[in-house]
Amino acid sequence: MIDAIHPSALIDPGARLGAGVRVGAYSVVGPGVTLGDDVELGHHVVLEGQVELASGVRIGHGAVVGGAPQDLKFKGGTRSGVRIGAGTVLREYVTVHRATTPEGWTEIGRECLIMGLAHVAHDCRLGDHVIVINYAGLTGHCHIEDRVTIGGMVGMVPFTRIGTGAYVGGMAKINADIPPYMMVDGQGAAARGGAHPRGAARVRAADDPARLHRRGHAPRHLQGPARVGRRHRGGHVLMAVNGRTRAGVVGTGHMGQYHVLVYAELPDVELVGVADIDPERGQSVAARYETRAFTDHRELIGLIDVASVAVPTEEHFRVTRDLLEAGISVLVEKPMTPTIEEARELLAVSRRTGAVLHVGHVERFNGAVDELKHLVTAPILIESRRLGPFVPRVQKDTVVMDLMIHDIDIVLGLVDSPPVRLAAQGASVHTAVADVATVQIRFASGAIATISASRATEEKIRTLAITQPDAYIVLDYTEQDIHIYKRAAQEYTTNRGSIRYRRASFVEHLKVHRDNPLKLEIQHLIGATRRRRAGESVLAAQPDDLRSLAMALEIERMIRDGVPEVAWREPC
């Protein structure tokens, strides 16, 4: 065992180290690294980029974690990283590369074992209790679910997926998705003897398919029989499954590219194409994901079932209406439209055509927010902060529509009482519109919410704190975790010289299962579309969407016109 930190190790002052961390000789720990408690690094280990190692992770000699991807679409300086769950072991000379997209993550779950000289490429997702045996190579964007065993010298082509409990024999070539519990072997890999009974036993979940795929998609063996033939997508052989949803993305700017990536990674979705009025940008993104490029969103009509709309706000109404009128379900980025009247018209078109309309309030799909809804019962004071540095691409929308609308939506959903008064202030810093803003919302119950938003703050902060009679609850959106503070006891003692106060508290730390909220949001749209087409009812959040937009518009008006306080009236 390594004793503490070897004097020859290079630890950047910006790195964050937990208690009991041990670092071997000549290891290098970069400025963006976070090491949990009791992490152990062997000698000559290199951690670079954004690397987060949870408690108890062990990294063997010579391993490199967080290295730049070997992918031509990766741009130097991109802020991305690697996350590794608690108790996972990487043996000697393992390499794990960081993601290709800004704020993206290559992720390895809890209690995994990655044996010597194995490679995990950019944007891979490994579940919990995965075993990867020596010399195996996982290429970009592969998804390995829980309790999978991958044999030595196995090779996987990009974007392939292995289901829960599967076993892959040594030296196999994986060029197609593998359903749960299968034993596969050979080049290309084929099923050997059907299901893998020991894999099923390991997860102890054969009677509960929902537990097998808790990362947000239906188990493949329940999606209907696979076709005998295989279909090719851009040279990669995939296992085609009946009922794949056809998707497109309109707008391939900053946010649009995140949508494209999610659709491209979903196994039950076919990314038909992208549309952008900038043909060069559209072609570039389409080539990266091996799909088609269009210059007019209407060219997608007849080719797709669902679409994401990530164009400038002033174009939301026109583009979304065209797609809804054609019966295409739409996820439109927030804000839905620049006016309430246009928002109401889109909702009316959705009801008339039967196409599903969702608005991109992505924080609704943050696992910590979902957990918070079960904890907040009688809020007294809510304090929300969404702060960050200026991004030049955002020039036209105010900080209210750019950032604050997320928190307006969450706060209105947490307080079971109607708002009655608003007080707002804001100021321009970098643009001609408000770049910093704060609003105080008073509710009929007496609860008060203060929401602050800034794109002029050099530190990125995303927090929500709730005071209620029995607890103080703090949520970190970025970390997707929650701390709950509860008072245990307090006492006063007096003597001739002083009065002393002592208080004891319990602190509960809820670590929520982390998943990509945008992926969950898109999967929600796809699931709603399938249910609607099957004749089932779909629960819509339309009143919430309208109320959040109406309040954001009113706050914008107050700041623009210099109105400090108004009585709130619900939108009709």
Strands 461-468 and 448-454: unpaired
Look at the alpha carbons of 202, 204, 210, 214 in this order and tell me if their dihedral is positive or negative.
Answer: negative
Q: Do 307 and 323 meet the contact criterion of CB atoms below 8 Å apart?
A: yes
**Nearest C-alpha neighbor of 402 from the set 412, 414, 390:** 390
Task: Kindly list the distances between the CA atom of residue 95 and the CA atoms of 10, 30, 61, 139, 238, in Å, as whole numbers in the listed order.
Answer: 19, 16, 11, 12, 26
The residue annotated as part of the active site, out of 119, 123, 155, 256, is 123
- DSSP, collapsed to helix, strand or coil, labels residue 196 as coil
Whether omega for the bond prior to residue 354 falls within 30 degrees of 0, making it cis, is no
Q: Do 19 and 3 meet the contact criterion of CB atoms below 8 Å apart?
A: no
Q: Do 455 and 399 meet the contact criterion of CB atoms below 8 Å apart?
A: yes
Q: Do 63 and 47 meet the contact criterion of CB atoms below 8 Å apart?
A: no
- Rounded Cα distance between 335 and 405, Å, is 8
Residue 226 DSSP one-character state: B
**Nearest C-alpha neighbor of 412 from the set 445, 436, 441, 377:** 441
The residue annotated as part of the active site, out of 81, 140, 155, 367, is 140
DSSP string, 97-160: EPPSSTT-EEEE-TT-EE-TT-EE-TT-EE-TT-EE-TT-EE-TT-EE-TT-EE-TT-EE-TT-
The residue annotated as part of the active site, out of 122, 196, 358, 361, is 122
Q: Do 148 and 108 meet the contact criterion of CB atoms below 8 Å apart?
A: no
Residue 140 bears catalytic tag: yes
Residue 123 bears catalytic tag: yes
Joined tokens for residue 373? 């809804």
Close Cβ partners of 23 (under 8 Å, ≥ 6 residues apart): 2, 4, 5, 6, 9, 11, 29, 41, 45
Q: Which residue in this structure is represented by tokens 């898109």?
A: 522
Residue 367 bears catalytic tag: no
**Nearest C-alpha neighbor of 122 from the set 87, 95, 88:** 95
Query: For the chain, how many residues are written?
Result: 572
Q: How many CB atoms lie within 10 A of CB 71?
A: 17
Close Cβ partners of 151 (under 8 Å, ≥ 6 residues apart): 133, 136, 167, 168, 169, 170, 171, 172
Active centre residues (catalytic): 122-123, 140
